[in-house]
Amino acid sequence: MSRIIKNGLHPITYRLALRVLQTALLAITLSGNFPDSLILAESATVPVSLTNLAEELSLSQLGEIPIETVSTASRFTQKVNEAPASVSIVTADEIKKFGYRTLGDILQSMPGLYTTYDRTYTYLGVLGFNRPGDFNSRVLVMVDGHRVNDSLFGASYIGREFIIDPDLIDRVEVVRGPTSSLYGNSAFFGVINIITKSPADMKGVEVAADLGTYDSYKYRFSGGGSVPGTDLAVLLSGSYYHSEGNPHLYYPEFDSITNNDGVADHRDGEEAFNLFGKVTDHDLTLSAAYVARQKNIPTASWDTLFNDPRYETWDKHGYVDLKFLHQFDEKAELMIRTYFDDISYTANYPTTSDATPSGQLMNQDITEDQTVGGEAQIIQRWKANTFTAGGEIRGHLKQDIKNFDTDPLYYYADVNKTSTDGGLYLQDELALSTNLSISAGVRYDYYESFGSAMSPRLGLIYHPWEEGTIKLLYGRAFRAPNAYELFYPVTNALTSAPLSPEHIDTYEVVFEQYFPGNFRVSLDGFHYHINDLITLNPDTLMFENADTVSTRGGIVEVEWRHSSGIRVQSSYTLEQAKNAATGERLSNSPEHLAKLAIMTPLATKRLWAGLEGQYISRSLTLAGRETRYADSFCVANLTLLTENVMKGMDVSLSLFNVFDTRYAYVGGSGTIQDLIEQDGRSLHLKLTYRF
Amino acid sequence: MILLALGLRALPAPPPPKPLAEHQIKALYLFNFAKYVEWPKFAFPATNAPFIIGIKGNPDIVRDLSEITRGKLLKNRLIHIVSIETMQDHKGCQMIFIEGTDFPGIIHSLTGPSPKPVLTVGACDTFLNGGGIINFLKKDNTLRMEINLKNTHLAGLAVSSKLLAVATVKNNESNQPPP
C-alpha cells in the first residue's frame, strides 16, 4: 500500500520537509546523477527487489550470481517496504497455524492493536484509543478494496459478524496511520484490507468442520477452479456457525431472586451464516458476499430484562462488486469499480414498562443502509514519479434508522434519509535518489451532510544503508459525522447543531533494519492529536464536537525467521492516550501491550505448532464507575496443525486461553457491569478436507 | 559526492553481484526462459489466454515469480503462476518447473506419441535424459543451465539464440522418453 496522505502541512513539518528537500537536491546536483527511473542504480543500497533485478540483469549475468549459503537463504520475502506508512501483514499460513477464528483474533496479534468484547460485538483499539460505545468507526475495513463500513454508524465488524470467513483470507494488510488522503472517511487510525483468496488458491472442493467448547460448530463448503473452455475462474464458499455460548454467566450486579440469582442461563448463543463468491476473467472481477449473524446477549445491557431469551441482535450485510483492473504496460494501471451494499441491523430489547399490563414490552431497533457507488483510479509512472489519481462517488439510497416500542406501537425515532458523498485524490511518490523517496498526497471529500474535508499526507522514506529504512510520516485524516450522529433524535429536541468531522493529525518516525541471521527490528515513535471528537453531551443529550485527545507512544517489533520454518514475532507498544483538555488518561486504554507469536515445525514439516499470546496492562473503566480498573492480564493460545495427515486432509487442534486466565474488559455505557468477564479455556478441533 | 569533489572519475566500477538465494536465481531464469522461447499458437486456448507457469515442489519460487511478473505482460498475455500439487494441476501450463526427482509422471504425460508444447524445466541430473528440456545445474556456486535441443524440437518450441548462447547444449540422440 503506497499511498501517502498529506493533509495541511504543519509549520514545523514544512520547515523540516523543506530542509530535507534542499539537502536532497544538493546531493543530487553534486552527484550529477538524476535518476530517470525507479530502477536501482549500481550503487544502490535498497533491499533486494526481484522485480528490479528481473529488468536489469541479462541472462549471462544470472550465471554469475553467487548462490547464498543456506543460513541466510530464507531471507524475508519482503516487498520492498516503500510504503509511507507502517504496514503489518498476516498471511493465510499464519491464520491456519495460529488458529485465528475471527478477524478480531488476527488483529489482536498485531502491534499497537487490541480488541475488546462485550458479548455483543468485538471492538478494535488502535494505539490506545478504544472508546466504549464506538463501533470501530475510526478504522476503515475493506475486503479486496471494497469499503465495509456503513454510513449510518460508520461501523465495521471484526468478530463473527464480519462478512468474510477467515478461511477465505489470503492475507490481512493493516496500514497503521491516517490514510484519508487515499481512502477518505473512516481511515482515521488506519486501514485494514482483507484480501481474499483467488479461485486458483482454492483448486477443487474443500470442506471443513470446526468443533469446539460451548457446543460450537462451524461447517464450510468451498470450491474453486476454472471453467473449461473459457478464461473464467470461479470461487464459491458458504459456511454456517453456531454456538451455545457460555451457558452460565454470573453477574453479581443482577444477583436477586427475580433475576435467576444473577445467572444468565444459556443466553450467549450465536449464529452466523457467510456466503462468498468471486468470478474472474482477465481484467474483470465480480465478487459478492453476504453475512447474517445473530447474537443473544446475556449482559442485559441497555436496560433490558435480565436473562431474557428474546434479547438479541441481527446484523446482515450483502454486497456485489464489479472491478476492472488493467495494466497497460509497466508504467500505467487503470482501475474502475462499481458496487452495491445493503447493510441492515435489528435488535430486540425486552424491557420494563409502566404502560403495559405485563409490565414488559419489546423495543426494537431497525436500521438499513443501501449504498451504490463507483470509483476509478489511475496509477501512472513517469520518470522517477509514480502518480496515483482517483475519485469515487457514493449514493446512499436508503439511510433508515428506526426505534420503536412494538406494543403499544410508539416511534422514538424514524429517520429516513438519502445522501451523496464523494472524493477526489492525487498522490505522487518521487524517487529523489536511489535511496530517498518522498511521497505526498491529498484528498478532497464532499459530504452533502456537512460539507468538505481535506486530507493531506507527507512521507519521507530513506535507506541510509543496506537493509535499513527510516520513515518520517505526517498525515491528517477525518471521520465524517454519520447519519446516526446527525439525525437521530436522542431527546425530543430538534436535531443537533451542525456537526463537523473529527480530525486527527499524526506524526510518526519509523526505523526498520534487517540484520544477518534473518532478524528484523522496527522502532516506531508516534504522536497523534485528535480534534473535534464527536461526543454525546450528557446534559443536552445532543452530539457535539467536544473532545480532544492526545497520544504519545512507541512500538518496538522484533521478528526472526529461520530456514527450517521457525518464526518468532514479538512487539511491545507503549501508549499514553489522554484527554487533552483535562489531562486524564482515556478509559479502555492500556498503557502497555506486549505480544509474542511463535510458529515452529515439530518433528517433520507436516506438524506445526503455533503459540501466540498477549499481555495487556490495566485500563481505566468509564468515569464514575465503582471499579476503577480492568486488571492487567496475559492470554495465550496454542494450535497444533497437521497438513496432509492423509491425502488432502488437514487437522488442527487449538487450545484458547491455555492458562485459563480470568480476565475482563471494560464495560460500555450501556452496561451496568463495570467489567465484562471473558471466557476461560476452550478447545477446538478442525478438520479440512480437499478433493 | 565526495569522490567527485576530489576529482576522481564519476562512474565507479561495477560492484560484484550480490548473492541471492537459489530460488530467487531460478525465478529470474524462469522469467527469462519465458521471454526467449517461442510457443506455437495452439499452445494457448485463446488469443487472449494468459501465459501459465506451473511450479512443483518449490513455493519460494511461486512467490518470487509472482512478484517478478506482477503487472507485466508476456507477448501481450497476462502471466499466471500456479503451484502444482496434483497430477492434474499442470494441465494448461505453457512452462513447468519441477524441483527434485518427482518429474517422470509429468514428463511422461507431456511427451510420447503426441507431445505437448510445454517448456519443461528441472533441477536434477537425470532430467534431460528423462525427457525434460532445460535443466539447472550448479557450477562453482553459481547456477547454470543445460538444454536438450531434441526434446525442445519434439515439443514444438523454438529457442532464441540468446538463450542458447548461455546454455550448455545437449543434443543427445540416445535420449529416449521413459516408456
Residues of A in contact with B15 (CB under 8 A): 42-43
With bands split at pLDDT 50, 70 and 90, how would you rate the model's confidence at A18? very low
pLDDT band (50, 70, 90) for residue A414: very high
Query: Given an 8 Å threshold on Cβ–Cβ distance, is B32 in contact with A59?
Result: yes
Domain B20-167: give its CATH superfamily: Response regulator (3.40.50.2300)
Residue A74 predicted with pLDDT over 80: no
Query: Which one is predicted more confidently, A190 or A31?
Result: A190
**Residue B73 to chain A, least CA–CA distance (Å):** 7
| Nearest C-alpha neighbor of A548 from the set A526, A573, A578 | A578
Q: Average the pLDDT over A390-401 and give the result.
A: 96
Q: Got the DSSP string for A246-291?
A: -SEEE-GGG-SGGGGGGEEES---EEEEEEEEEEEETTEEEEEEEE
Q: How confident is the model at residue B176 (pLDDT cuts 50, 70, 90)?
A: very low
pLDDT of A453 above 60: yes
Distance from CA of B155 to the nearest CA of A (A): 22
3 state DSSP class of A217: strand
Rounded CA-CA distance B111/A193 in Å is: 45
How many Å apart are CA A69 and CA A75, to the nearest integer? 11
Cis peptide before A456 (omega within 30 of 0): no
* A226 contacts in chain B (CB < 8 Å): 92
Distance CA A162, CA A276 (A): 12
Query: pLDDT tens digit string along A258-267?
Result: 999 999 999 9
Mean pLDDT, residues A287-309: 96
CA distance A276 to A199: 12
Nearest Cβ partner for A64 among B12, B17, B27: B17
Average pLDDT over residues A403-430: 92
A152 in Cβ contact with A401 (< 8 Å): yes
Q: From the list B21, B49, B50, which residue is nearest A68 (CB)?
A: B21
Q: How many CB atoms are located within 10 Å of the residue A107 CB?
A: 25
pLDDT of residue A629: 95
Distance from CA of A61 to the nearest CA of B (A): 9
Mean of the pLDDT values across residues A11-31?
A: 38
Q: Does residue A196 carry a pLDDT above 60?
A: yes
Does the beta-carbon distance from A73 to B21 stay under 8 Å? yes
pLDDT at site A493? 52
| A491: confidence class by pLDDT, cuts 50, 70, 90 | low
Total residue count of chain A as it appears in this document: 691
| Secondary structure letter of residue A184 according to DSSP | -
Give the per-residue pLDDT at B22.
85
Distance from the B137 Cα atom to the nearest Cα atom in chain A, whole angstroms: 10
B26: its cell numbers: 531460478
A57 interaction partners in chain B (CB closer than 8 Å) = 28
* Separation between Cα atoms, residue A609 and residue A498, nearest integer Å: 54
Chain B, residues 115-144, CB within 8 A of chain A, namely: 138, 141-144
Q: Is the pLDDT of residue A41 over 60?
A: no
Give the per-residue pLDDT at A390: 94
Q: Would strands B73-74 and B77-84 be described as parallel, antiparallel, or unpaired?
A: antiparallel
Please report residues of A whose CB lies closer than 8 A to that of B36.
59
List the A140-143 sheet strands across, edge first: A86-91, A169-176, A190-196, A140-143, A146-147
Is residue A145 predicted with pLDDT exceeding 50? yes
| Cα–Cα distance measured from residue A457 to residue A126, given in angstroms and rounded to the nearest whole number | 19
Domains, chain A, ordered by start: 11-690 (2.40.170.20)
Q: What pLDDT score was predicted for residue A144?
A: 92
Burial class of residue A581, CB neighbours in 10 A (0-12, 13-18, 19+): exposed
Instruction: State the pLDDT at residue A50.
Output: 80
3-state secondary structure of A83: coil
User: Could you give the percent of chain B with pLDDT greater than 90?
Assistant: 25
Q: Does the beta carbon of B163 lie under 8 angstroms from any beta carbon of chain A? A: yes
How would residue A64 be classed by pLDDT, with cut points 50, 70 and 90?
Answer: confident
* pLDDT for res A689: 95
Q: Positive or negative, the Cα torsion across B162, B163, B167, B173?
A: negative
pLDDT reported for residue A494: 54
**Closest in A42, A54, A79 to B28, CB measured:** A54
Report residue B17's pLDDT band, with 50, 70 and 90 as the boundaries: low
**pLDDT at residue A81 in the model:** 56
SS3 A92: helix
| Region A564-587 average pLDDT | 92
Q: Give Cα separations from B118 to A7, A233, B42, B50 (angstroms).
A: 53, 22, 11, 14
Whether ipTM tops 0.95, in short, is no
* pLDDT beyond 70 at A237: yes
Q: Is residue A36 scored above 70 in pLDDT?
A: no
- Residue A202 CB partners (closer than 8 Å, separation 6+): A222, A223, A224, A225, A235, A237
* Distance from the A570 Cα atom to the nearest Cα atom in chain B, whole angstroms: 24
b/e map of A163-187 (b: 16 or more CB within 10 Å)? bbbbbbbebbbbbbbbbbbbbbbbb
Supply the pLDDT for residue A35: 25
A70 backbone φψ class: left, alpha, beta (φ>0; ψ -120 to 50): alpha
Q: Note which residues in 89-108 of chain B have CB less than 8 A from chain A.
A: 89, 92
A66–B89 CB contact, under 8 Å: no
Q: Is the Cβ–Cβ distance between A285 and A322 less than 8 Å?
A: yes
Q: Which residues of B touch A231 (CB under 8 A)?
A: 45-46, 48-50
Bigger pLDDT: A569 or B126?
A569
What does the mean pLDDT of chain B come to?
A: 80
CB A237: neighbour CB atoms within 10 A?
Answer: 24
Confidence band of A507 (pLDDT split at 50, 70, 90): very high
Domain residue ranges of chain B, discontinuous segments joined by +? 20-167
User: Is 70 exceeded by the pLDDT of residue A135?
Assistant: yes
Give pLDDT tens digits for B23-78: 889 999 999 999 999 999 888 888 888 899 999 888 888 888 988 888 788 888 88
Closest-CA residue to A139 (of A182, A89, A179): A179
Do the Cβ atoms of A250 and A263 come closer than 8 Å?
yes
Residues of A in contact with B67 (CB under 8 A): 50-51, 77, 79
> Model pTM greater than 0.90?
no
A327: which chain B residues are within 8 Å (Cβ-Cβ)? 71-73
CB contact under 8 A, B12 and A43: yes
A interface with B, Cβ–Cβ below 8 Å? 27, 30-33, 42-43, 48, 50-51, 53-54, 57, 59-68, 73-75, 77, 79, 200, 203, 226, 229, 231, 282, 327, 329-330, 333
pLDDT digits 0-9 by tens, B91-113? 889 999 998 888 888 888 888 77
In chain A, DSSP finds a helix count (H) and a strand count (E) of: 8, 35
CA dihedral A172, A173, A178, A181 (to 10 degrees): -110
CA distance B13 to chain A (A): 9
pLDDT-based confidence at residue B161 (cuts at 50, 70, 90) = confident
Q: Do B21 and A229 touch (CB under 8 A)?
A: no
Confidence category of residue A76, pLDDT binned at 50, 70, 90: very low
Q: Residue A353 in contact with residue A361, Cβ under 8 Å? A: yes
Q: Is the dihedral of CA A5, A9, A10, A15 positive or negative?
A: positive
Decide if B25 and A60 are in contact by the 8 Å CB cutoff: no
Of the pLDDT bands very low, low, confident and very high (cuts 50, 70, 90), residue A4 is very low
Q: What is the pLDDT of residue A536?
A: 82
Phi first, then psi, for residue B110 (nearest 5°) are -95, -20
Q: What is the mean pLDDT of residues A398-419?
A: 92
Q: What is residue A408's predicted lDDT score, i.e. its pLDDT?
A: 86
Q: Which residue of B has its CA nearest to A71?
A: B21
Task: Say if strands B51-56 and B77-84 run parallel, antiparallel, or are unpaired.
Answer: parallel
CB contact under 8 A, A48 and B20: yes
Residue A256 region, left (φ>0) first, then alpha (ψ -120 to 50), else beta?
A: beta
Mean pLDDT for chain A overall: 86
Could you tell me if A629 and A657 are in contact, meaning their C-beta atoms sit under 8 angstroms apart? no
As a three-state string, the secondary structure of chain B is CHHHHCCCCCCCCCCCCCCECHHHHHHHHHHHHHHHEECCHHHCCCCCCCEEEEEECCHHHHHHHHHHHCCCEECCEEEEEEEECCCCCCCCCCEEEECCCCCHHHHHHHCCCCCCCCEEEECCCCCCCCCCCEEEEEECCEEEEEEEHHHHHHCCCEECHHHHHHCEEECCCCCCCCC
> What is the per-residue pLDDT for A16?
41
With bands split at pLDDT 50, 70 and 90, how would you rate the model's confidence at B165? confident
Sequence-distant (6+) residues with CB within 8 A of A527 are: A506, A507, A508, A550, A551, A552, A553
> Are A636 and A660 a contacting pair, CB within 8 Å?
no
Least confident range from A32-46, A221-235, B136-150: namely A32-46
